[in-house]
Amino acid sequence: MPSNEHEITAPVDLCAPDGHRLNPSAKGWSRSILHRANLAGRWGRTKRWDYWAIQSEDFVIAVTVADIDYLGLVVLDWIEPHTHRTGGRAVMVPLARGVALPDDAATGRLEFTSRNLRVAIDYRDEAADLSAQWTEKDGSGGNLTASVAAPAGHESLNVVIPWSETQFQFTSKHQARPATGSVTIGDRTHELGGAVGHAWGILDIGRGRWPYQTQWNWGGGAGYAASGELIGVQIGGKWTDATGFTENGIILDGRLIKIGEDLEWSYDWDRPLDPWIVPTADRRLDLKLAPVHDRHANTNLGVLTNEVHQVFGHWTGSVPDGAGSTLRVDEILGFAEEARARW
């Protein structure tokens, strides 16, 4: 399943010199972050975020740092998928004061401090270090210390989705990155990775200008094929449809296999714990997620609304091997979501 999309192999600015219009040379995808998000002007429509998650069999923790122009959002949330215990802390900052994300993504240090939540993300060549301290709603304290490796040669999926000359998005998706660390909430500690089993880091970087109303699908996963290869799953939909570009691909032993066709997502919004089925037309990618937990969030702040079903579970099926055949995966960890937003 070769992709007809243009592969970018050298650094490029996302925007034209005015920082307002899409640079035509930025259209395409790459195996590492090559786009510089030189966004300027058009206040109110620009969105920037870094979203990190670490998923293990028994625990999921996520950290979001987002600037959507008129509001900053810094969120830490955690889930025990099998017990359905959840928690965390969210802070909203008017006009995104104190929330800054760089044009050169995944570089330097992101830091945010408020009374009930402190977050720091340090990007290094060989890893990203995540730390957070927060207060739960019941008054108990939480602490995260983790490191997500960036193994040499491990590729990511980076692509520009062009809706128009003035509405476009650069996204950088990272899957199957080994993670280690620990999370303490009150008197309970969860170890991540290492001797207790695999934990996988997930990174979603976004920089762009969005329409006010949108929907998207996103899914990912990591684990080992039946034949032993390390597999990372990166799939999406709705928001990319009919643009000529996708955020679909498989990471096979660290190498990206780009999928240039739209996927056929099948699931029930009203029954999110039913299977989520995602194939390509030729069935070389043919995956089914069996969810064990649904994280349903519904935010309504008038002009800003967002409702999401994000389900966690295990993927089973087949993925392309890049050589015309497929690899079997059985119950590898993963997630899928649909979001409906006005922002």
Q: What is the pLDDT along the chain (343 residues), one digit of tens a residue?
A: 445 799 999 999 999 999 999 999 999 999 999 999 999 987 878 999 999 999 999 999 999 999 999 999 999 999 999 999 999 999 999 999 999 999 999 999 999 999 999 999 999 999 999 999 999 999 999 999 999 999 999 999 999 999 999 999 999 999 999 999 999 999 999 999 998 899 999 999 999 999 999 999 999 999 999 999 999 999 999 999 999 999 999 999 999 999 999 999 999 999 999 999 999 999 999 999 999 999 999 998 888 899 999 999 999 999 999 999 999 999 999 999 999 999 9
**Average pLDDT over the chain, rounded to whole?**
96
For the chain, the domains span 12-342
What CA–CA distance (Å, rounded) separates 158 from 251? 12
Location of structure tokens 């965390």 = 88
Query: By the 8 A CB rule, do 122 and 134 touch?
Result: no
Location of structure tokens 């959840």 = 86
What CA–CA distance (Å, rounded) separates 331 from 266? 18
> 68: Cβ–Cβ under 8 A, 6 or more apart, which residues?
46, 47, 48, 49, 96, 304, 343
What CA–CA distance (Å, rounded) separates 13 from 24? 10
H-run or E-run covering 85: strand 85-94
pLDDT for 50 equals 98
Rg of the Cα trace of the chain?
19
β 141-149/255-259 pair status = unpaired
What CA–CA distance (Å, rounded) separates 262 from 283? 12
β 188-192/199-209 pair status = unpaired
Q: Is the dihedral of CA 16, 209, 2, 323 positive or negative?
A: positive
CA 79, 84, 85: angle at the middle one, nearest 5?
60
Query: By the 8 A CB rule, do 79 and 293 touch?
Result: yes
pLDDT for 42 equals 72
What CA–CA distance (Å, rounded) separates 247 from 237? 8
> 127: Cβ–Cβ under 8 A, 6 or more apart, which residues?
147, 148, 149, 150
What DSSP string describes 93-139?
EETTTT----SSTT-SEEEEE-SSEEEEEEE-SSEEEEEEEEE-TTS
Query: By the 8 A CB rule, do 121 and 65 touch?
Result: yes
What CA–CA distance (Å, rounded) separates 328 from 230? 11
pLDDT for 3 equals 59
Q: What is the per-residue pLDDT across 225-234, written as a single tens digit (0 to 9) for each?
A: 999 999 999 9
From residue 301, alpha-carbon distances to 23, 279, 305 in Å are 33, 36, 6
What CA–CA distance (Å, rounded) separates 291 from 273? 5
Q: What is the per-residue pLDDT across 67-79, written as a single tens digit (0 to 9) for each?
A: 999 999 999 999 9
Query: By the 8 A CB rule, do 238 and 215 touch?
Result: yes
